[in-house]
């Protein structure tokens, strides 16, 4: 049997935000019949897909899996001679998903992961994992899912790693005061705390340390089907997103505190793609839309511990760069066939921040309390927070923060950081610790509060402009039970309670998400 950890048995997911695009087909179909009455904002919202809680759960599990693997490989020395390890798990999951109009949709997920690891002579490590996943949707009404059937690619993760310091020590027997290692292949890259980048990539990474100072480097391109772009107006945003990243980070360990700083640049490899948008409407109402969003992220922060019971993390990033302006005019009095205008290159200047604090009770129930605050700037000169169609007006600086980062903002609404302030509290504990058969049961509950920075700026979920800054609240509950050494069951429930004044009549009801799954590791 493989040594799959408890955390990795709790229902690993597959594609990042897979099947998020279900709302596009519905919105475009509706647009066709009422196009004459559409405002620019409504046209832009038609290209913003509905949130899929099942996909958000997949994303959360991928992120947690990447965190575990990063810590595991960082703290596990490569074997002295040859080590071979292999195994896997099978997961079945059933999800009931409320769409934006609170209509329940149903998903059965069959997911198998097979992994292998080989380590040679203390300096070479090879790791690979296959993903064999099938999604079976049972949809009701006009809901259109994009994640039906077999999921691709099968090769989820595969990389090779060389530890230079260990290799040199193997040659002469002398230990070094420094370390240096490099990894290349298809891997999940989490940059710093995940604010600016957390995604599957074909990448080369390098890490080196000398004393208290550590350096990290990254060069890679996003991995196609496992990347969901922030610009959902571009065809292929969920299957063909190519963004090249180059970055460097420096850390300095000062006792229990590790401050860091980084620079991360992104080049849009889909730049130059041109489309007539929106689709599904008469040609007279479409406008030519070009895409090119290139950005740089300048970040700093600190992670560490306060005494023995508190852990904290802080990250702040400034985004610069350029993007193309909105191809439509932001004038609701114009008919759709007169909205088009030339696109211009405009500057980007945005920022986002993340703060987290955890209290470890260290009691018999292994209880902990986590607080998190995520905030990002937005722009009143946009109709949509991330899209080019419905994007920034020409002549304005784009202050909406966009990235391929990941921070948990809930299962149901799951907004991005742009123009949001999102505090959350989590309580988790094990009330049955020490009881045979239930000793590895864990309960957790998280409450999210969603507020807008600016009521007149868009967020990543379609809402009405103006009025209250309160978007709503969400409550997520998890129960994980390890029945035997190899079998784990999981129950997850989430409900989003909207501020009805910000949503249409059909979208103002509470939305729920229910997940029940079982994972067998072997």
pLDDT digits (tens, 9 = 90+) for 227-277: 999 999 999 999 999 999 999 999 999 999 999 999 999 999 999 999 999
pLDDT for 13 beyond 70: no
Q: Which of 304, 206, 202 is nearest to 248 (CA)?
A: 206
The pLDDT value given to residue 27:
38
pLDDT for 16 beyond 70: no
pTM, entire model: 0.87
pLDDT tens-digit profile of 307-332? 999 999 999 999 999 999 999 999 99
Give the Cα separation of 414 and 433 in Å (integer): 32
Give the Cα separation of 2 and 115 in Å (integer): 9
pLDDT for 139 beyond 50: yes
Looking at residues 25-46, what average pLDDT do you find? 56
Q: Across the chain, what does the average pLDDT equal?
A: 89
Give the Cα separation of 105 and 23 in Å (integer): 13
* Residue 433 structure tokens: 């610790």
Q: Does residue 344 or residue 12 have the better pLDDT? A: 344
Give the Cα separation of 373 and 453 in Å (integer): 13
Q: How far is C-alpha 140 from the chain's CA centre?
A: 27
Give the Cα separation of 66 and 16 in Å (integer): 12
Cα angle value 509/18/231 (rounded, 5°): 85
Helix or strand (DSSP H, E) at 167: helix 164-172
Give the Cα separation of 364 and 62 in Å (integer): 29
Would you place residue 469 in the very low, low, confident or very high pLDDT band (cuts 50, 70, 90)?
Answer: very high
Q: Note if the bond before 303 is cis, omega within 30 degrees.
A: no
Give the Cα separation of 473 and 412 in Å (integer): 10
Q: How far is C-alpha 342 from the chain's CA centre?
A: 33
Looking at residues 428-450, what average pLDDT do you find? 94
Look-up of token digits 């009405």: 464
Give the Cα separation of 162 and 154 in Å (integer): 25
pLDDT for 492 beyond 80: yes
* Residues found in the chain: 522
What is the pairing mode between strands 470-482 and 124-138? Answer: unpaired
CATH fold, domain 7-521, is: Porin (2.40.160)
Would you place residue 300 in the very low, low, confident or very high pLDDT band (cuts 50, 70, 90)?
Answer: very high
Residue ranges of domains in the chain: 7-521
Would you place residue 80 in the very low, low, confident or very high pLDDT band (cuts 50, 70, 90)?
Answer: low
The pLDDT value given to residue 168:
86
Would you place residue 83 in the very low, low, confident or very high pLDDT band (cuts 50, 70, 90)?
Answer: confident
pLDDT tens-digit profile of 141-168? 766 666 789 999 999 999 999 999 888 8
Q: What percentage of residues in the chain have a pLDDT greater than 70?
A: 89
Give the Cα separation of 224 and 201 in Å (integer): 8
Residue 106 and residue 22 in contact, taking contact as beta carbons nearer than 8 Å: no
Q: Does residue 173 or residue 516 have the better pLDDT? A: 516
Q: Note if the bond before 153 is cis, omega within 30 degrees.
A: yes
Q: Note if the bond before 278 is cis, omega within 30 degrees.
A: yes
Helix (H/G/I), strand (E/B), else coil: 458: coil
Give the Å distances, CA to CA, from 483 to 6, 90, 430, 440: 11, 15, 14, 8
Cα angle value 99/105/110 (rounded, 5°): 125
Residue 365 and residue 318 in contact, taking contact as beta carbons nearer than 8 Å: no
């Amino acid at each position: 049997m493989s040594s799959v950890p408890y955390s990795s048995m709790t229902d690993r997911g597959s594609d990042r935000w897979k099947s998020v695009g279900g709302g596009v087909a519905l919105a475009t179909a509706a647009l066709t019949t009422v196009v004459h009455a559409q405002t620019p904002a409504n046209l832009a919202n038609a290209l913003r897909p509905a949130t899929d809680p099942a996909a958000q759960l997949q994303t959360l599990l991928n992120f947690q899996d990447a965190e575990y693997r990063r810590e595991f490989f960082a703290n596990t020395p490569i074997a002295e001679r040859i080590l071979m390890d292999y195994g896997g798990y099978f997961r079945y999951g059933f999800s009931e998903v409320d769409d934006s109009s609170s209509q329940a949709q149903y998903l059965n997920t069959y997911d198998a992961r097979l992994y292998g690891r080989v380590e040679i002579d203390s300096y070479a490590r090879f790791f690979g994992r296959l993903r064999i996943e099938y999604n079976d949707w049972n949809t009701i009404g006009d809901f259109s899912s994009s994640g039906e059937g077999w999921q691709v690619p099968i090769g989820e993760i595969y990389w090779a790693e060389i530890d230079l310091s260990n290799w040199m020590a193997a040659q002469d027997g002398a230990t070094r005061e420094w370390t240096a290692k490099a990894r290349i292949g298809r891997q999940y890259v989490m940059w710093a705390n995940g604010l600016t980048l957390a995604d599957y990539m074909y990448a080369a990474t390098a890490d080196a340390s000398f004393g208290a100072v550590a350096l990290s480097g990254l060069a890679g391109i996003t991995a196609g089907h496992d990347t969901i772009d922030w610009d959902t107006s571009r065809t292929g945003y969920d299957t063909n997103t190519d963004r090249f990243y180059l970055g460097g980070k420096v850390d300095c360990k000062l006792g229990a505190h590790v401050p860091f700083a980084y620079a991360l640049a992104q080049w849009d490899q889909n730049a130059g793609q041109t489309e007539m948008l929106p689709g599904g409407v008469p040609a007279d109402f479409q406008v030519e839309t070009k895409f090119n969003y290139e950005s740089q992220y300048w970040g700093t922060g600190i992670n560490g511990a306060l005494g023995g019971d508190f852990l904290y993390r802080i990250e702040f990033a400034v985004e610069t760069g350029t993007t193309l302006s909105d191809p439509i005019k932001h004038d609701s009095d114009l008919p759709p066939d007169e909205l088009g205008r030339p696109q211009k290159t405009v500057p980007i200047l945005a920022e986002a921040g993340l703060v987290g604090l955890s209290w470890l009770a260290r009691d018999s129930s292994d209880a902990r309390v986590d607080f998190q605050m995520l905030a990002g700037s937005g722009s009143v000169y946009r109709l949509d927070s991330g899209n080019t169609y419905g994007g920034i007006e020409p002549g304005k600086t784009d202050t909406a923060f966009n990235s391929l980062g990941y921070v948990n903002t809930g299962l149901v609404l799951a907004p991005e950081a742009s123009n949001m302030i999102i505090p959350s509290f989590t309580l988790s504990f094990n009330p049955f610790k020490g009881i045979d058969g239930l000793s590895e049961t864990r309960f957790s509950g998280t409450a999210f509060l969603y507020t807008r920075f600016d009521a007149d700026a868009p967020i990543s979920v379609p809402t009405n402009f103006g009025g209250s800054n309160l978007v709503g609240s969400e409550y997520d509950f998890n129960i994980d039970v390890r029945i035997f050494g190899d079998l784990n069951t999981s129950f997850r429930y989430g409900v989003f309670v909207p501020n009805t004044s910000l949503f249409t009549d059909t979208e103002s009801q509470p939305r729920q998400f229910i997940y029940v799954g079982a994972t067998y590791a072997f």
